[in-house]
Structure 1
Amino acid sequence: MNPLTDLQTDGVDSAVTVHDPRDGTVVGSVPPATSGQVAQAVAAARAAQPAWAATNPAERGRLLRGAAARLARSARELAVLNSRETGRPQDQALAGVEAAVATLEQYAELGPLHRGVSLRGAALASDYTLRQPRGVAVLLTPWNDPVAVAAGLLGAALVTGNTVLHKPSERCPHVGLLLGEVLEPVFPSGVFATLSGGPEVGRQLAAAEVDVVAHVGSSATGSAIARAAMDTGAHVIRENGGNDPLLVDEGVDPVWAAGQAAIGAFSNSGQICTAVERIYVHRAVAGPFCEALAAEARRWNREGLLGPLVDTRMRAAVQAQVAGALEQGAVAAEGGSVPDGPGAWYPATVLLDCTEQMEIMTEETFGPVAPVSVVDSFAEGLDLAAAGRYGLAATVLTGSIAHAQRAAAALPVGTVKINAVFGGAPGGSAQPRRDSGRGFGYGPELLDEFTLVKVVHLSPLPEER
């Protein structure tokens, strides 16, 4: 995720006014939660947690299925609102809500099956482990796929017996509030609450006496949350920024590889945490690859396949990185400048002759930009792809099994994708490395993150042995 504002800010959040990034019109304003409301919500969640933890897991799953059904009925309304607040095309926004419904249904099934293990001890004793909820969970979620990301964390936290305080991004507060209105009535009072606001509300929640803080967003904010947890003792789950490389090996079809690069760099206008952020292409295929990638960018621009960026502030950050690269010698094969007119539009952009001295190759961009560097060998490209402070994901396009295995072993990231920039089997769950976060942020293993393990040893009385 691209940096928003570090949680270590002072003062009080003001009302958040959101503008439609397509034309700049006002969507609406949302007042932030007060410090009193935050404290009250934390207290209510703490009071409700014991009874919720004692609720039969099958009943928690049943309620979560009910939440999924309510979400499905509100899918179109949420998608339209998401499109207005973030600029995401409605069909993509709707797909995100549908993914959220499926995620809640999956956790409704997985939750009651989440179990401990039996241990081998003395013949007449019983030894086993119990999985118990951590307690009160704070969930801080992003704007770029707000319903789907929130549903994953909400589903795992609730079905394992935690009570939840959810703060959606200030860039889509109306979507967050509507999601709360849809889901909260399903659960007992105090089990699930939504709090609106910006960095100050997030800071208060992260510093509160809670048991777990799950955050999807910028690395700067994730680091601030981790520091706050040093004082509170809360368990931290965070999926943060990335600077995901794409390595194109010799011998691959350069036109196909360019199509993969375009999908990875331009989908959702580049506003995906696992988007392709930097490209290393083998010199043997660099010429036709770069030509094809520029042609792909022109097609995306010509056919209107991109939505706007989330706001003009994000666009300014993207353009600053592009301008900096151009000043340092990069060449724009397509795009590279802010278009005229209202809104936060930005074209699909291809930059050639990029170097590791450019910020666009070392930091997350979060826009539809594909910076390309030519390498003389697979080994050189792999070394460059493995460098940097992030470790979210990486993609390798190669026809060599040996190169694929070498990349999977060497790349210090949570997910290595071979010959496909997106996709994968259901249930896959990765742990990001370095500044990209800590812990499992999705999948069945997320249930483990929201629970604690207790070992039980049951021995008979002496006269019963």
Structure 2
Amino acid sequence: MDILADTPIADLAATRERLRTAWQARKPDYAQRRADLIRLRDAFRARSAEMDAAIRADFGHRSSHENLLSEAMIVLAEIDHALAQLRRWMKPRRAAVGWRFWPARAEIRPEPVGVVGILSPWNYPVNLALVPLASAIAAGNHVYLKPSEHTPRTSQFLRDLLADVFPDDRVAVALGGAELGAAFSAQPFDHLLFTGSTAVGRKVMAAAAPNLTPVTLELGGKAPALVCPDYPIERAAARIASGKWFNAGQTCIGVDYVLVDASRRDELVQALLAQLRARYGADLGTSRDYTRIINASQYARLASYLDDARQRGLQVIEPFAAPAAQAQRQAERLFPPALVIEPDPQAQVMQHEIFGPILPVISYRNLDEAIARINALDRPLALYPFGHDRAQIERILAQTLAGGVTVNDTLLHFGAHDLPFGGIGPSGIGAIHGRNGFDTFSKLLPVFHQRRLAGSDLLKPPYRGKIDAMIRWLAK
């Protein structure tokens, strides 16, 4: 595949204006929205093998099964859900006006906002581009997408796919690096969605601020798994392993560290190591199921975290370590899973979102201590409590706050269409998926309908006599 040239920064404004002019001339109705979603679904399904090849090429290697689960399945399910619910989502919603305004009535009308800008990341480059795009289309908008420069083949796949599905005045794609992304963020969109790191999210929000562009930020953070004393270690290890090493840990809601009761810490470590052996065999390099790190910069960042841990004298367990093969692994960006035992809060693995296959394991003496460890860090995008005691789970949920929660498993709340997906504070602003995504890219327009005869006709100066008494009574 020949990689296309970057989009000139000078073209951004003209393209955005073309999209908005076309939208203003003919705002998509139900029939058009439905037809657009059907064409997108059918074209994407037909080209899933092409998608898989593009992602694997960009990563160096990524499990095709993980591509099918995290990219193809999620996108198709989101589109099918929107198609099934679209007519209901578009209907005006009744709203009460209260007895003081009787006999008036009110409604809330979901109206499209115009042109939605989407900045999508590299870790799930298709899912995190097409899921919000489908929501924006369902809501009746036109879309300008800027996918990640770190997955150039996948970004070109998206550009080709969308060009086949949509006219260029309904959906457009800009290709380019950080400079183009900064200019893209500064465009006066009607709504802007960014998915990526918290550090870049701050820059996107600052770029959007002069235009007062509404922004939705899907960011990240240090998502903890908390294993309560009553939960079986083997089952916890299996589900935490899935939440950690899927996509080699390059997941915004992936398990970032695990807290376990002190008496069972070593048992959990051994169970996690057993999971790694069962999933990837004895030789990680020959496993078709273990994903590579996206680029050399990310590989070096992860290596620096382990170097820091060793310099601090922390126990680092690397079940697939083979020093003789280190140069080859670095060339292939194959970063083996590693456990860091009892890191102190100043360790790099606890100062930053790891976004890779390194898992800190931390013991706690009681639940209060575990909750305090979670609350000492920024509010995460996800939280994974494991426990059968409902009172303990409720206590964890009451005393912490995260963007989303899966109890007794990991990652799965992302795929539930009726659950809002989004962070809080440094882990994000706003929410997408299902109706929440539809509403995010809509103006929920309040409309108040007054009747021919209304009591408000009496509430005017001069405020004397009965009018004075009526107002004082209403204000009580």
Cα distance in 2, alignment partners of residues 259 and 318 from structure 1: 23
Query: In the alignment, is residue 339 of structure 1 matched against residue 326 of structure 2?
Result: yes
Query: In the alignment, is residue 315 of structure 1 matched against residue 299 of structure 2?
Result: yes
Shift of 1:353: 2.5
Q: Structure 1 residues 301 and 345, CA, compared in 2 at 3 Å: closer, same or farther?
A: farther
Instruction: Count residues in correspondence.
Output: 437
Amino acid at match of 2:12: V
Deviations 1:32-83 (A, max 9, x none): 2112221221111121121342x32233112211211111111111111111
Deviations 1:169-197 (A, max 9, x none): 00112212222322334334411001100
Cα distance in 2, alignment partners of residues 28 and 249 from structure 1: 52
Which one of 77, 80, 94 corresponds to residue 105 of structure 1?
80
SS at match of 2:434: coil
Shift of 1:127: 2.4
Which one of 399, 413, 425 corresponds to residue 410 of structure 1?
399
Which one of 17, 35, 53 corresponds to residue 80 of structure 1?
53
SS at match of 1:394: strand
Query: In the alignment, is residue 272 of structure 1 matched against residue 272 of structure 2?
Result: no
Shift of 1:29: 4.1
Deviations 1:326-360 (A, max 9, x none): 21121112257782313110101111121212120
Shift of 1:199: 1.0
Q: Give the gaps of 5 or more residues in structure 2.
A: 458-476
Which one of 313, 322, 325 corresponds to residue 309 of structure 2?
325
Which one of 8, 16, 20 corresponds to residue 42 of structure 1?
16
Cα distance in 1, alignment partners of residues 333 and 417 from structure 2: 34
Indicate the structure (1 or 2) with the bigger Cα radius of gyration: 2
Shift of 1:271: 0.7
Cα distance in 2, alignment partners of residues 451 and 313 from structure 1: 38
Query: In the alignment, is residue 67 of structure 1 matched against residue 40 of structure 2?
Result: yes
Q: Which moved more, 1:424-433 or 1:157-166?
A: 424-433
Q: Are the aligned partners of 2:316 and 2:339 in contact in 1 as well (CA < 8 Å)?
A: yes
Shift of 1:124: 5.3
Q: Structure 1 residues 156 and 262, CA, compared in 2 at 3 Å: closer, same or farther?
A: same
Cα distance in 2, alignment partners of residues 306 and 100 from structure 1: 22
Shift of 1:200: 1.1
TM-score by length of structure 1 reads 0.88
Q: Are the aligned partners of 2:188 and 2:208 in contact in 1 as well (CA < 8 Å)?
A: no
What's the C-alpha RMSD, in Å, of the aligned pairs?
A: 2.2
Q: Which moved more, 1:27-36 or 1:358-367?
A: 27-36
- Structure 1 vs Structure 2: percent identity of aligned residues? 23
Q: Structure 1 residues 124 and 257, CA, compared in 2 at 3 Å: closer, same or farther?
A: closer
Query: In the alignment, is residue 435 of structure 1 matched against residue 453 of structure 2?
Result: no
Shift of 1:216: 0.7
Cα distance in 1, alignment partners of residues 353 and 55 from structure 2: 23
Query: In the alignment, is residue 367 of structure 1 matched against residue 356 of structure 2?
Result: yes
TM-score by length of structure 2 reads 0.86
Query: In the alignment, is residue 161 of structure 1 matched against residue 140 of structure 2?
Result: yes
Deviations 1:90-121 (A, max 9, x none): 22223312321222222233333223322345
Q: Find runs of 4+ consecutive structure 1 residues off by over 6 angstroms.
A: none
Q: Which moved more, 1:300-309 or 1:354-363?
A: 300-309
Shift of 1:301: 5.8
Shift of 1:389: 2.0
Amino acid at match of 2:433: Y
Shift of 1:260: 2.2
Q: Are the aligned partners of 1:247 and 1:385 in contact in 2 as well (CA < 8 Å)?
A: no
Amino acid at match of 1:330: L
Cα distance in 2, alignment partners of residues 262 and 90 from structure 1: 18
Which one of 457, 460, 465 corresponds to residue 448 of structure 2?
457
Q: Structure 1 residues 160 and 52, CA, compared in 2 at 3 Å: closer, same or farther?
A: farther
Amino acid at match of 1:179: L
Deviations 1:433-463 (A, max 9, x none): 1211100032321111111122223335569
Q: Which moved more, 1:96-105 or 1:388-397?
A: 96-105
Partner of 1:14: none
Cα distance in 2, alignment partners of residues 233 and 363 from structure 1: 30
Cα distance in 2, alignment partners of residues 185 and 29 from structure 1: 18
Deviations 1:202-228 (A, max 9, x none): 111110121111011111111111112
Larger helix fraction of residues: 2
Q: Structure 1 residues 317 and 340, CA, compared in 2 at 3 Å: closer, same or farther?
A: same
Q: Structure 1 residues 218 and 357, CA, compared in 2 at 3 Å: closer, same or farther?
A: same
SS at match of 1:138: strand
Q: Are the aligned partners of 1:311 and 1:343 in contact in 2 as well (CA < 8 Å)?
A: no
